[in-house]
Amino acid sequence: MSTPYSGATPAGATPAGGQAGYGGQIDPSTGQPYTAGYGTNHAVSGQIGTPVTDEGRPDIGANSVGALIGEVTKDLSTLMRQELELAKVEIKAEAKKAGQGAGMFGAAGFAGYMVALFLSIALMWALASAIPTGWAALIVAVLWGIVGAVAFVMGRKKFQQVNPKPERTVDTLSQVPGALKPH
Protein backbone atom coordinates (compact mmCIF):
# COMPACT_ATOMS: atom_id res chain seq x y z
CA MET A 1 0.00 0.00 0.00
CA SER A 2 1.83 3.08 -1.21
CA THR A 3 0.54 6.60 -0.72
CA PRO A 4 1.41 9.71 -2.72
CA TYR A 5 3.03 11.22 0.39
CA SER A 6 6.79 10.91 0.75
CA GLY A 7 6.96 7.38 -0.68
CA ALA A 8 5.49 5.75 2.43
CA THR A 9 5.63 1.98 2.66
CA PRO A 10 3.21 -0.38 4.41
CA ALA A 11 3.61 -1.24 8.09
CA GLY A 12 6.23 -3.89 8.64
CA ALA A 13 7.95 -3.28 5.29
CA THR A 14 11.36 -1.75 4.73
CA PRO A 15 11.41 1.16 2.25
CA ALA A 16 13.41 0.93 -0.96
CA GLY A 17 17.10 1.40 -0.33
CA GLY A 18 16.89 -0.40 3.03
CA GLN A 19 16.48 2.79 5.09
CA ALA A 20 14.15 2.56 8.03
CA GLY A 21 11.87 5.46 8.69
CA TYR A 22 9.25 7.47 6.88
CA GLY A 23 10.62 8.05 3.39
CA GLY A 24 14.15 8.16 4.84
CA GLN A 25 13.39 11.55 6.41
CA ILE A 26 14.73 12.76 9.76
CA ASP A 27 12.47 14.27 12.43
CA PRO A 28 14.05 17.71 13.12
CA SER A 29 12.79 17.77 16.72
CA THR A 30 14.39 14.46 17.74
CA GLY A 31 17.09 13.92 15.11
CA GLN A 32 15.76 10.38 14.63
CA PRO A 33 14.19 8.88 11.50
CA TYR A 34 10.43 9.16 11.28
CA THR A 35 9.16 5.75 12.28
CA ALA A 36 5.37 5.92 12.48
CA GLY A 37 5.35 2.14 12.19
CA TYR A 38 7.25 2.08 8.89
CA GLY A 39 10.32 -0.07 8.63
CA THR A 40 9.65 -1.79 11.97
CA ASN A 41 9.07 -5.47 12.53
CA HIS A 42 5.60 -5.09 14.04
CA ALA A 43 2.41 -3.59 12.68
CA VAL A 44 1.56 -0.40 14.54
CA SER A 45 0.16 2.97 13.52
CA GLY A 46 1.47 6.33 14.71
CA GLN A 47 3.92 7.15 17.49
CA ILE A 48 1.70 5.82 20.30
CA GLY A 49 1.67 2.32 18.84
CA THR A 50 -1.96 1.71 17.96
CA PRO A 51 -2.33 -1.84 16.65
CA VAL A 52 -3.49 -2.19 13.04
CA THR A 53 -5.97 -4.59 11.48
CA ASP A 54 -5.12 -7.00 8.69
CA GLU A 55 -6.27 -4.35 6.18
CA GLY A 56 -3.69 -1.87 7.55
CA ARG A 57 -6.20 0.36 9.34
CA PRO A 58 -5.72 1.36 13.00
CA ASP A 59 -7.55 -0.93 15.45
CA ILE A 60 -9.01 1.63 17.85
CA GLY A 61 -11.33 -0.62 19.84
CA ALA A 62 -9.26 -0.61 23.04
CA ASN A 63 -8.09 3.03 22.97
CA SER A 64 -9.66 5.91 24.85
CA VAL A 65 -10.83 9.07 23.09
CA GLY A 66 -8.03 11.03 24.76
CA ALA A 67 -5.41 8.62 23.42
CA LEU A 68 -6.91 8.81 19.93
CA ILE A 69 -6.97 12.62 20.03
CA GLY A 70 -3.37 12.59 21.25
CA GLU A 71 -2.37 10.35 18.37
CA VAL A 72 -4.21 12.52 15.85
CA THR A 73 -2.51 15.61 17.30
CA LYS A 74 0.91 13.98 17.00
CA ASP A 75 0.15 12.83 13.46
CA LEU A 76 -0.97 16.33 12.48
CA SER A 77 2.14 17.81 14.06
CA THR A 78 4.33 15.36 12.15
CA LEU A 79 2.44 16.07 8.94
CA MET A 80 2.86 19.83 9.38
CA ARG A 81 6.60 19.47 10.05
CA GLN A 82 6.98 17.32 6.96
CA GLU A 83 4.96 19.73 4.83
CA LEU A 84 7.09 22.65 6.06
CA GLU A 85 10.27 20.74 5.21
CA LEU A 86 8.86 19.95 1.77
CA ALA A 87 7.97 23.62 1.26
CA LYS A 88 11.51 24.64 2.27
CA VAL A 89 13.04 22.22 -0.24
CA GLU A 90 10.71 23.37 -3.01
CA ILE A 91 11.32 27.05 -2.28
CA LYS A 92 15.08 26.49 -2.24
CA ALA A 93 14.91 24.76 -5.64
CA GLU A 94 12.75 27.54 -7.09
CA ALA A 95 15.04 30.21 -5.64
CA LYS A 96 18.02 28.52 -7.27
CA LYS A 97 16.25 28.56 -10.64
CA ALA A 98 15.27 32.20 -10.14
CA GLY A 99 18.88 33.07 -9.29
CA GLN A 100 20.12 31.38 -12.42
CA GLY A 101 17.51 33.23 -14.47
CA ALA A 102 18.55 36.54 -12.89
CA GLY A 103 22.17 35.77 -13.75
CA MET A 104 21.19 35.16 -17.36
CA PHE A 105 19.29 38.46 -17.43
CA GLY A 106 22.40 40.16 -16.05
CA ALA A 107 24.53 38.61 -18.80
CA ALA A 108 21.97 39.71 -21.42
CA GLY A 109 22.02 43.24 -20.00
CA PHE A 110 25.81 43.37 -20.18
CA ALA A 111 25.74 42.04 -23.76
CA GLY A 112 23.16 44.70 -24.65
CA TYR A 113 25.39 47.36 -23.13
CA MET A 114 28.35 46.15 -25.20
CA VAL A 115 26.22 46.19 -28.38
CA ALA A 116 25.13 49.76 -27.65
CA LEU A 117 28.73 50.79 -26.96
CA PHE A 118 30.12 49.35 -30.19
CA LEU A 119 27.20 50.64 -32.27
CA SER A 120 27.86 54.07 -30.78
CA ILE A 121 31.53 53.84 -31.73
CA ALA A 122 30.58 52.69 -35.24
CA LEU A 123 28.12 55.60 -35.57
CA MET A 124 30.81 57.99 -34.37
CA TRP A 125 33.30 56.76 -36.97
CA ALA A 126 30.63 56.83 -39.67
CA LEU A 127 29.91 60.47 -38.84
CA ALA A 128 33.67 61.12 -38.66
CA SER A 129 33.93 60.37 -42.35
CA ALA A 130 31.78 63.47 -43.05
CA ILE A 131 32.69 65.78 -40.11
CA PRO A 132 35.60 66.03 -37.66
CA THR A 133 35.87 63.13 -35.16
CA GLY A 134 35.35 65.33 -32.10
CA TRP A 135 32.04 66.64 -33.42
CA ALA A 136 30.93 63.10 -34.34
CA ALA A 137 31.65 61.90 -30.79
CA LEU A 138 29.73 64.90 -29.38
CA ILE A 139 26.69 64.12 -31.55
CA VAL A 140 26.65 60.47 -30.38
CA ALA A 141 27.01 61.60 -26.74
CA VAL A 142 24.09 64.04 -27.12
CA LEU A 143 21.94 61.26 -28.62
CA TRP A 144 22.69 59.05 -25.59
CA GLY A 145 21.96 61.99 -23.28
CA ILE A 146 18.50 62.36 -24.86
CA VAL A 147 17.84 58.61 -24.46
CA GLY A 148 18.93 58.79 -20.80
CA ALA A 149 16.74 61.85 -20.08
CA VAL A 150 13.65 60.23 -21.62
CA ALA A 151 14.27 57.02 -19.60
CA PHE A 152 14.71 59.08 -16.40
CA VAL A 153 11.44 60.98 -16.91
CA MET A 154 9.52 57.77 -17.66
CA GLY A 155 11.03 56.00 -14.63
CA ARG A 156 10.21 58.91 -12.30
CA LYS A 157 6.62 58.92 -13.58
CA LYS A 158 6.29 55.18 -12.83
CA PHE A 159 7.72 55.61 -9.31
CA GLN A 160 5.21 58.35 -8.57
CA GLN A 161 2.42 55.87 -9.37
CA VAL A 162 3.71 53.36 -6.80
CA ASN A 163 1.59 53.03 -3.65
CA PRO A 164 3.65 51.32 -0.91
CA LYS A 165 0.55 50.60 1.20
CA PRO A 166 -1.14 47.29 0.23
CA GLU A 167 -4.70 48.66 0.09
CA ARG A 168 -6.56 45.36 -0.51
CA THR A 169 -4.66 43.57 2.25
CA VAL A 170 -5.37 46.36 4.74
CA ASP A 171 -9.03 46.26 3.75
CA THR A 172 -9.39 42.48 4.15
CA LEU A 173 -7.46 42.45 7.44
CA SER A 174 -9.79 45.10 8.84
CA GLN A 175 -12.69 42.73 8.10
CA VAL A 176 -11.20 39.77 10.02
CA PRO A 177 -12.21 40.84 13.58
CA GLY A 178 -15.83 41.27 12.47
CA ALA A 179 -15.85 37.85 10.85
CA LEU A 180 -14.70 36.22 14.10
CA LYS A 181 -17.50 37.73 16.19
CA PRO A 182 -20.68 35.65 16.58
CA HIS A 183 -23.69 37.09 14.82
Cα distance between residue 3 and residue 89, in whole Å: 20
Residue 18: DSSP 8-state = G
Q: Which residues contact 11 (CB under 8 A, 6 or more apart)?
A: 37, 38, 40, 43, 44, 45, 52, 56
- Residue-level pLDDT at 52: 74
Ordered by start, the domain boundaries in the chain are 16-86, 131-176
More confident residue, 51 or 70: 70
Q: List, for residues 7-62, the tens digit of each pLDDT value.
A: 444 444 444 444 444 445 566 666 665 554 444 444 444 555 666 777 877 776 76
- β-strand 44-45 against 50-51: which pairing, if any? antiparallel
- Residue-level pLDDT at 65: 79
* 137-165 CB burial, b ≥16 within 10 A, e <16: beebeeeeeeeeeeeeeeeeeeeeeeeee
Distance of alpha carbon 152 from the chain centroid = 34
